[in-house]
Structure 1
Amino acid sequence: MKEIKLFCPGTIANVSCGFDVLGLCLDTTGDEMIIRKVDTPGVKITKIVGQDLPLATEKNVAGVAVLAMLEKLNNTTDGFEIEIYKNIKPGSGIGSSAASSTGAVYGVNELLGKPFNNHDLIEFAMKGEELASGVPHADNVAPALLGGFTLVRSTTPLDVIKLNTPSLLYATVIHPQIEVKTADARQILKSKLRLKTAITQWGNIGALVSALYTEDYDLLSRSLHDEIVEPIRSILIPAFDKVKEECKNAGALGSGISGSGPSIFALSKGEETAHKVAEAMKAVYDKVGVSYDIHISKINDQGIKILES
């Protein structure tokens, strides 16, 4: 195999109560990437379409992730060219940097004959996240590589668990056309918590994981509550509270900030409800006067997909 074309999915990190530990993979939203093996050693980003991002390997999240993988292999002889077709805008809160990082390491791994499994690749993709946000978090790259819902129990050492995905679950995401950089969104968070707040959050995380396995949609709905991050970050997002209210009125199980924002996600039981939620989101933002994109997606239990090879 000399060339591979990939679908690199968008992701929702945190899923309300699981800051830096929970994430899920989207099915209809993502980038595309073409990676080819070439004779000249090293990694070269040859084309980026859709967004103005650096082509320099050391300044691009895809390049940094692949370099980390090749270093682990002590591979100084193979060469790769990468084309990135960006459909996910940086700063959107739906895993733009993770899509590039994971797609790059997944594709190069395939072209090298799969020296690593998908779980192993998380470590290298995290290097791209570190370049993008200053923190090597795994809550976006893990679901992109493993599919479905994932739980990051630990990053040192890396311990990621793929969770069950309820069969009727859909995500609706509205992306207001403003940018919230992950690094900036982290800076406004508090460094200390009240014990009572932490206990409430732990209860919601545990209940959410249980709800995914039992496919208890009512319990899932009660668990989609964030005591820690949402009250602070929501001030950066226009009409956030109104969107949450209207999503609930439209039948959503719950909603929250997607990643570091500004995107807002809602989870619903069934596609019909997910579309009703989308209309409710649109109605709010049409009045606000901020342009937006809407995504409706079943949860992608596979993760990255090979389109051509």
Structure 2
Amino acid sequence: MVTVRAPATSANLGSGFDVFGAALGRPADVVRIEKADRTTIEVTGVGSQYIPEDPEKNTVGAVAEALEAPAHIQIDKGVRPASGLGSSAASAAAAAVGLNDLYGRGLTREELVPIAAEGEAVVSGAAHADNVAPSIMGGFTIARPDGVTAVDASIPLVTCLPEIVVSTRDARGVVPDGARLEDVVEVVGNAATLAIGMARGDPELVGRGMDDSIVSPVRADLITGYESVRSAAFEAGATGVTISGAGPAVIAACRERDRRSIAATMLDAFDAVGVDARAYQTAIGRGAEIFE
């Protein structure tokens, strides 16, 4: 038996739609895996009542099938489903890393990314790697069709998760089919700035690089109070604020000294519009960890 802790993640980070991702120090899923003749799944924890235990409908079932590694898999959810914090990706990442170890498949972390992404497709309808890559590899990741680049970044973050549900399918449904050339140029420049900021460990550059004028504005309409929360976070010292993944979580980059006040301010801003929320004072963290 092995136990794997796989972290929540934030995809896109504003300007890096379907490409950028970051592992978060917290929250995380904890997955216990034991060899078996057939795959069975048990789910507990936050939002577990909404997660199917049928292996054909759960991300970890697809991962077990891809690795030809049947197992009894117990998922203790620490990452709420439909949060924008890579809930299904955390489970898929944990299963991929744990099954690879338990069955001695010998695959590298990078080789496990597309396998975990196929598991993600069960839930989201498409095999995107922007969440599973950081959950497996840790740090800041750039997921491309030909592979993943990971940077061991160190940036303080605040994620604020409101009691709102935004499905990945709904969030993708509002993405515009096209964009003005000026907006594309601006977003490319911002993405480059963010990547340099991650490499340098510079919260100012990362924050400036989060701006996105194409996808984030239309997704903001799905999150009650988003604009007021974003403004409040900036007033409290955030260097950048955007939607985490598909939402509804909101993520802020900052300096460590401002993290607590930003978290409190974001909670107050959601409360002012009648929305309960939870804030995590965190940072870019490690990927999936195995505990024998």
Q: Structure 2 length as normaliser, TM-score? A: 0.95
Q: 262, 276, 293: which one pairs with 2:278?
A: 293
Distance in 2, matches of 1:46 and 1:297, equals 28
In the alignment, is residue 119 of structure 1 matched against residue 103 of structure 2? Answer: no
Q: 42, 52, 55: which one pairs with 1:54?
A: 52
In the alignment, is residue 88 of structure 1 matched against residue 115 of structure 2? Answer: no
Distance in 1, matches of 2:240 and 2:113, equals 28
In the alignment, is residue 106 of structure 1 matched against residue 97 of structure 2? Answer: yes
The secondary structure found in structure 1 opposite 2:254 is strand
The secondary structure found in structure 1 opposite 2:208 is helix
- The structural deviation recorded for 1:205 is 0.8
Distance in 2, matches of 1:234 and 1:91, equals 15
* Contact 1:44 1:80 (8 Å CA) reproduced: yes
In the alignment, is residue 138 of structure 1 matched against residue 129 of structure 2? Answer: yes
Give the direction of change, closer, same or farther, for the CA distance of 1:49–1:218 in structure 2 (3 Å limit): closer
- The structural deviation recorded for 1:47 is 4.2
Give the direction of change, closer, same or farther, for the CA distance of 1:88–1:200 in structure 2 (3 Å limit): same
Distance in 1, matches of 2:224 and 2:242, equals 13
- The structural deviation recorded for 1:54 is 1.1
Q: Structure 1 length as normaliser, TM-score? A: 0.90
Q: 199, 202, 209: which one pairs with 1:223?
A: 209
- Name the count of aligned residue pairs: 290
* Contact 2:28 2:90 (8 Å CA) reproduced: yes
Counterpart amino acid of residue 190 in structure 1? P
Distance in 1, matches of 2:164 and 2:211, equals 24
Distance in 2, matches of 1:190 and 1:62, equals 31
* Contact 1:252 1:277 (8 Å CA) reproduced: yes
Deviations 1:14-72 (A, max 9, x none): 0111000001001121111100113x2x32214444412111111111111221122xx
Q: Which ranges in structure 2 are unaligned for 5 or more consecutive residues?
A: none
Give the direction of change, closer, same or farther, for the CA distance of 1:295–1:217 in structure 2 (3 Å limit): closer
Q: 185, 189, 193: which one pairs with 2:179?
A: 193
Distance in 1, matches of 2:282 and 2:223, equals 22
* Contact 1:174 1:281 (8 Å CA) reproduced: yes
In the alignment, is residue 43 of structure 1 matched against residue 75 of structure 2? Answer: no
Q: Which ranges in structure 1 are unaligned for 5 or more consecutive residues?
A: 71-77
In the alignment, is residue 267 of structure 1 matched against residue 253 of structure 2? Answer: yes
Counterpart amino acid of residue 22 in structure 1? F
Give the direction of change, closer, same or farther, for the CA distance of 1:200–1:148 in structure 2 (3 Å limit): same
Counterpart amino acid of residue 264 in structure 2? E
Larger radius of gyration: 1
- The structural deviation recorded for 1:79 is 3.4
